[in-house]
Structure 1
Amino acid sequence: MKMASKHITQETFDAAVRENIEEFELGPEEAVKEAVEQFESQGVDLGNIVKTTPKVSADGPQEPTHDILQALDDLQESMARSHPQEVSAHLARFCEQCKQQKACRFLAAEKGAYPILLATWKLATAGDQGLLLQALNALSALTDGQPDLLDTQGLQLLVATLARNADSANVTCSGIRCVRHACLKHEQNRQSLVKAGVLPLLTGAIARHSRCADVVREGLLGLRIMTFDDDIRVPFGRAHDHAKMIVQENGGLKVLIEAAKGRSRSPDTPSRPLPQSSNQAVNAWVPLRRGVWPGVTHALPSLQDLVKQVLSALRAIAGNDDVKDAIVRAGGTETIVSAMTRHLASPQVCEQSCAALCVLALRKPENSRVIVEGGGALAALQAMKAHPQEVGVQKQACMLIRNLVARSQTFSQPILDLGAEALISRARATHRDCEDVAKAALRDLGCHVELQELWTGQKGNLAP
């Protein structure tokens, strides 16, 4: 049995570093390295420890401190003096420090960063949108991996901020990022934000800022996280309820369709929208069906990312059986197959396409029929051929094939005629992670599978 890791405070680590410098005359880098080796040899977990030498402030003799804490102190002082320009500069410094490593965020939170940022945030809501954006960026950086920091007051202020600044793409984008960080692995925050009305704000942001790829991407990720069931601290969550609410109460399917019409951005020109197609009336799912608009093929990687995010969102909300049927009735399976066919060279799009179809087919024979007749099985096998070394593609394709035939045996022979057995067997032989799903697919296709009986439950002879 693995023993629990030991933990120390930042002060203990810093004291060891100073001792190495002062008593053993080691250089700063060597002193830190020696301290790390010392504690790790004792089984101490240093994941939340800032492994740099504390610096002495130029203001005079005082206890050395880390850059993240100095930025926090400066921010607090500028707030006390009511100097907006200084507050803005220190917020930017603090944000950059938080982004460097998780240990910096942990140390800042431990030293009271959240209430300081909350006070700054409240001050900025008075009308300084530039300061508001910086406060949200800093809060987003601080809460990355630390969702417990946001209290009820912060969650309510977050919803109010998104509602009041719905027309600002930058504030909306940063605010939704805060929502994501607050909800990842935190079921209570998810439920609280949904109760406070965050779902229409997320779908509304995607619709309102459909030409801004950053907002669309953040909004899609936000919707996905609302359907997660990833908090081990609660026995069960409300992922399926949230998925149903997204579709039935907030027009989620329509939002995804309209998001697919939006203009993307070229990776090398992040602030310039791409021109829209002028030679055709784009239909509801144009980027998924067509892949790119005429004249903007240079932006293909960016468009593929948008397609992947739409597919991921569809996959997330399809956990609910009613939502599955709504997606199929809306022509979602045809759209997903078209996306996979058009973007066959992209392993990410292929993986998400197979995964989305896999969810739609689960325990749904009628959906399986629509997928097979629409070329879904063929597209999945083509993806397996195109990406033999991509374990994600191979695994999701195997799971899709299995779901298609598990309750619809009539599809087994047509899928085998497409060459499924050889491709699934190759995936099984190539990727250890595909072993179980490949065997299940082959078994349900009616293929011969060697099943090893690991234990019969009978007592055998034991060697002395």
Structure 2
Amino acid sequence: MASRRITQETFDAAVRENVKEFAMGPEEAVTEAVEQFESQGVDLSNIVKVAPKVASDGYQEPKHDVLQALDALQDSMASSRPQEAAAHLARFCEQCRQHRGSRFLAAQHGAYPALLAAADLQGLLLPALQALAALTDGQPDLLDARGLQLLVATLARHADVAELTCVGLRCVRHVCLKHEHNRQDLTKAGLLSLLTGAIARHSCHADVIREACGVLRVMTFDDDVRVPFGYGHARARMVVQEHRGLRVLVQAARGFPDNPSVLGELCSALSRLVVRNEFCQETVELGGLSVLLGLLADHANHQDLVRQALSALRAIAGNDDVKDALVRAGGTESIVGAMTQHLSSPQVCEQSCAALGVLALRKPENSRAIMEGGGALAALQAMKTHPQEAGVQKQACMLIRNLVARSQAFSQSLLELGAEALIAQARATHPDCEDVAKAALRDLGCHVELRELWTGQKGNLVP
């Protein structure tokens, strides 16, 4: 994997050399430079891979478009020309959206403080936040105390303005992804109540709901490798217990019966919040179970929504009482039907097997319902259809293991359906399936060689 890095100036110098010394055209010179550096193991993900251009005002030193837009923005702000500044903000925003390298280069040349300054000017808050959202995508370290105050103040003071709320939430999502300290600081500043408040207040605005759900999910992540541990679980608990998060999401889902993209985001957010046993039960009491099953019935053709609804059902089924309620409500048939209809989708198959596996765990009665409803047959068919998908194989093995762990009577039926060969193939193909595949084979009554890795006896260490 490439690990070396170079500066934008080094890359641009190589492009200029190709143009001057080898008479290449701009595009050919860039392509040659890219191939040259990548062959040396250089990571070019933060490099603008286009030839810099001469500015329209005749300035002779070539500059990349994003830096020209930044210079023009700063000039218009210094000259108090807000209309020009708005146009330059839009141009800068567009350049940042095109490539990660443009964002990185702009940040190196002072774009972040320039955008914060623009946000303070009359009439420029919205375009400045749009540019800030583009700039911080993939660069959460840019956020400082001033920027945090701007985002929180925007969400609080302009809570009724959907467009400002939407772009403010987008900024928050970008600065929180893979950045635990930013998440903690924004939580202390009151972000969680602003999130649930935005969903409740803008219950008919699809873009706001999507962005708010995206932020809610990111706030529950523990994805920052720079910290020893994160507080995603604690924040999920706070959203539910202190800010009525589950109620807000379930109510919002009822407001978008014909919008699969919004419903999918709501399902994804819900699945991240049910981190405790009582939260799963609360979701059912709020009507969340009927909403999720209704989605599987009413939007059966929308593959992404089906996958997200299955993920949410899998999450709330962590509660044993919810498992029983889900089976009584016809959830087994709905899940098997979704897997059968979308058998070509490894994502749907994986979530379906996982949901059925949770329903079967410690529940012989549910295992019987799954077997009678064709769940085992559908899972084995998924294993045949997606032999190279580790997630499908692992979850199907887990389902089979849970089906027979307390119901040995089902073993023979599964073996007759070819379960042993499919599990053995999954074990041989995917190292991640080793443990769960052996457990499934063991509980099916098949021969499995269990190696004792350590006996606890003292002995000499062999180098």
TM-score by length of 2: 0.76
Match of 1:62? 60
1:222 aligns with 2:218: no
**1:173-188 equivalences in 2 (<5 Å):** 173-188=166-181
Are the structure 2 counterparts of residues 85 and 425 from structure 1 closer, same or farther at C-alpha, using a change threshold of 3 Å? Answer: farther
2:394 maps to amino acid: K
28, 31, 41: which one pairs with 1:43? 41
Counterpart AA for 1:55: K
Return closer, same or farther for 1:38/1:293 CA change in 2, 3 Å cut-off.
Answer: closer
Structure 1 residue 249: deviation in Å?
1.6
Which residue of the partner structure matches residue 291 of structure 1? 295
Query: Is the CA contact 2:442–2:448 (under 8 Å) kept in the aligned structure 1?
Result: no
Contact 2:336–2:374 (8 Å) recurs in 1: no
* In structure 2, distance between residues paired with 1:209 and 1:313: 23
Q: 1:340 aligns with which of 311, 335, 338?
A: 335
Query: Which of 5, 8, 30 is matched with 2:6 structurally?
Result: 8
Corresponding residue of 2:92 = 94
Residue in structure 2 matching 1:110, options 95, 108, 121: 108
Comparing 371-380 and 218-227, the one that deviates more: 371-380
In the alignment, which residue of structure 2 is the partner of 1:272? none
Shift of 1:267: 8.2
Distance in 2 between the 1:234 and 1:122 partners? Answer: 33
Instruction: Give the corresponding residue for 1:398.
Output: 397
- The correspondence for 2:422, drawn from 423, 426, 439, is 426
What is the Cα deviation at residue 385 of structure 1? 3.0
1:139 alignment counterpart: 132
Whole-angstrom distance in 2 between the partners of 1:100 and 1:119: 23
Judged with a 3 Å threshold, the aligned counterparts in structure 2 of structure 1 residues 205 and 441 are, in CA distance, closer, same or farther, namely farther
CA distance in 2, matches of 1:166, 1:380: 49
1:415 shift after superposition: 7.5
Per the TM alignment, residue 305 of structure 1 is displaced from its structure 2 partner at its CA by 4.0
**Contact (CA 8 Å) 1:72, 1:108: kept in 2 or not?**
yes
Does residue 385 of structure 1 match 2:381? yes
Residue by residue over 1:350-388, the C-alpha shift from the partner in whole angstroms, topping out at 9 and shown as x without a partner, is 544555676x779x85xx579657759965763553574
The reply on whether 1:172 has 2:176 as its aligned counterpart is no
CA deviations 1:15-34 (Å, max 9, x no partner) are 12112212322111121122
SS in 2 for 1:225: helix
Q: Matched residue pairs, number? A: 422
Taking a change above 3 Å as real, the CA distance of residues 412 and 37 of structure 1, as seen in their structure-2 partners, is same
Change beyond 3 A, Cα 1:329–1:445: closer
The 2-side partners of 1:67 and 1:308 are apart by 41
Give the letter aligned to residue 112 of structure 2: Y
Range with bigger deviation, 375-384 or 135-144:
375-384
Q: Deviation of residue 171 (structure 1)?
A: 2.5
What SS does the corresponding residue of 1:249 show, helix, strand or coil? Answer: helix
State the match for 2:275 in structure 1.
Answer: none
Change (3 A) 1:396 1:101: farther
Aligned counterparts of 2:304 and 2:47: Cα–Cα separation in 1:
35
Q: Does 1:260 align with 2:253?
A: yes
Root-mean-square deviation (CA), in Å? 4.0
Do structure 1's residue 435 and structure 2's residue 433 form an aligned pair? Answer: yes
Aligned match for 2:70, one of 72, 78, 81: 72
Tell me, yes or no, if the aligned pair for 1:213 and 1:264 is still in contact at 8 Å.
Answer: no
Identity of matched residues, %: 53
The amino acid of 2:406's aligned partner reads: T
TM-score normalised by the chain length of structure 1: 0.76
Aligned partner letter, 1:410: R
Rounded to whole Å, the distance in 1 between the matches of 2:148 and 2:163 is 19
Give 3-state SS (helix, strand or coil) of 2:208's partner: helix
Contact 2:398 2:440 in 1 (8 A): no
SS of 1:223's equivalent in the other structure is helix
